[in-house]
């Protein structure tokens, strides 16, 4: 056996074996899911756990130090972070960074959703791919809020645009729609979505838009469906969801705003 060993090819063999194991485990999961009539979210969650297994996340401190050794004499790459659309906030935070989770917190009816939608449209115009998971508000409400904010329309008038908008505002309507369309925003308004479902939907959109980096918005945290029941223990539920969101941000190397 030793006569065929090659240390330089070890990582390649390791990846080959792991890939074959993943394929076998995926088939096993699908067989069990069919036999026991699993729900789709559970199937997605189990398959996602397999895909998250990695062997290429190891770096020795020696290598890490070698990579950064020349930093004081080299021009540093400018990290492309997603803008918040608020100059002073960008100066303080540097914008939304890849792999980070940002929490927007306030009392009820203070405008958290409007702030989130502002961040979403600004990141879209900056070239990112905003993915909005709205677990509370339906898509129509999200869309009308966006139109009202961009067009400067009174939100009350959006309930009946034909009757309540002025002729000047109606003439402005198509320009507002076109401008909003340029954000390439996507809205998922299903109730009780799980992190596994969000991951699958995000991965699908990333394949459709390979040149755009996603930025994920979730409204709101405690409406996310956990992977298991916690008997009313909100702390355990939020802890699991928070960990899953952080893992998603790191795996997709994108920013998540909740």
pLDDT digits (tens, 9 = 90+) for 18-48: 778 888 888 888 888 888 788 877 787 777 7
What is the average pLDDT value for the chain, to the nearest integer?
Answer: 84
Task: Tell me: do 148 and 193 sit in the same domain.
Answer: yes
Mean pLDDT (whole number) for 59-77: 78
Task: Tell me: do 129 and 60 sit in the same domain.
Answer: no
In a domain, 13, yes or no: yes
Task: Tell me: do 63 and 108 sit in the same domain.
Answer: no
Structural domain harbouring 156: 87-257
Per-residue pLDDT at 170:
86
Dist. CA 201–CA 196, nearest whole Å: 9
In a domain, 82, yes or no: no
Task: Tell me: do 60 and 160 sit in the same domain.
Answer: no
In a domain, 80, yes or no: no
Per-residue pLDDT at 130:
94
For the chain, the domain total comes to 2
Task: Tell me: do 68 and 91 sit in the same domain.
Answer: no
Residue whose structure tokens are 């004499």: 73
Phi-psi region of 144 (alpha: psi -120 to 50; beta: other; left: phi over 0): alpha
Task: Tell me: do 97 and 218 sit in the same domain.
Answer: yes
What residue spans of 8-58 are helical by DSSP H? Answer: 10-36, 40-51
> In this model, does residue 1 exceed pLDDT 60?
no
Task: Tell me: do 106 and 63 sit in the same domain.
Answer: no
Q: Are 249 and 99 in contact (CB under 8 A)?
A: yes
């Amino acid at each position: 056996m030793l006569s065929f060993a090659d240390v330089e090819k070890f990582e390649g063999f390791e990846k080959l074996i792991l890939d074959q194991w993943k394929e076998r485990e995926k088939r096993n999961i699908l067989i069990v899911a069919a036999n026991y009539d699993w729900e789709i979210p559970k199937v997605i969650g189990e398959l996602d756990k397999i895909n998250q297994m990695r062997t290429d996340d190891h770096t020795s401190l020696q290598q890490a130090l070698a990579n950064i050794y020349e930093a004081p004499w080299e021009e540093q790459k400018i990290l492309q972070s997603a803008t918040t659309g608020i100059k002073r906030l960008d100066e303080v935070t540097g914008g939304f960074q890849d792999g980070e989770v940002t929490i927007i917190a306030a009392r009820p009816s203070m405008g958290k959703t409007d702030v989130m939608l502002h961040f979403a449209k600004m990141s879209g115009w900056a070239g990112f791919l905003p993915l909005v998971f709205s677990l509370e508000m339906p898509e129509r409400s999200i869309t009308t809020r966006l139109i009202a904010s961009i067009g400067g329309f009174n939100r009350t008038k959006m309930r009946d645009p034909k009757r309540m908008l002025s002729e000047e505002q109606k003439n402005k309507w198509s320009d507002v729609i076109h401008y909003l369309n340029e954000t390439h925003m996507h809205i998922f308004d299903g109730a009780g979505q799980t992190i596994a479902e969000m991951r699958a939907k995000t991965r699908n959109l990333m394949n459709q838009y390979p040149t755009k980096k996603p930025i994920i918005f979730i409204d709101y945290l405690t409406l996310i469906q956990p992977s298991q029941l916690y008997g009313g223990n909100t702390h355990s539920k939020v802890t699991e969801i928070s960990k899953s969101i952080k893992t998603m941000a790191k795996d997709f190397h994108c920013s998540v705003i909740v």
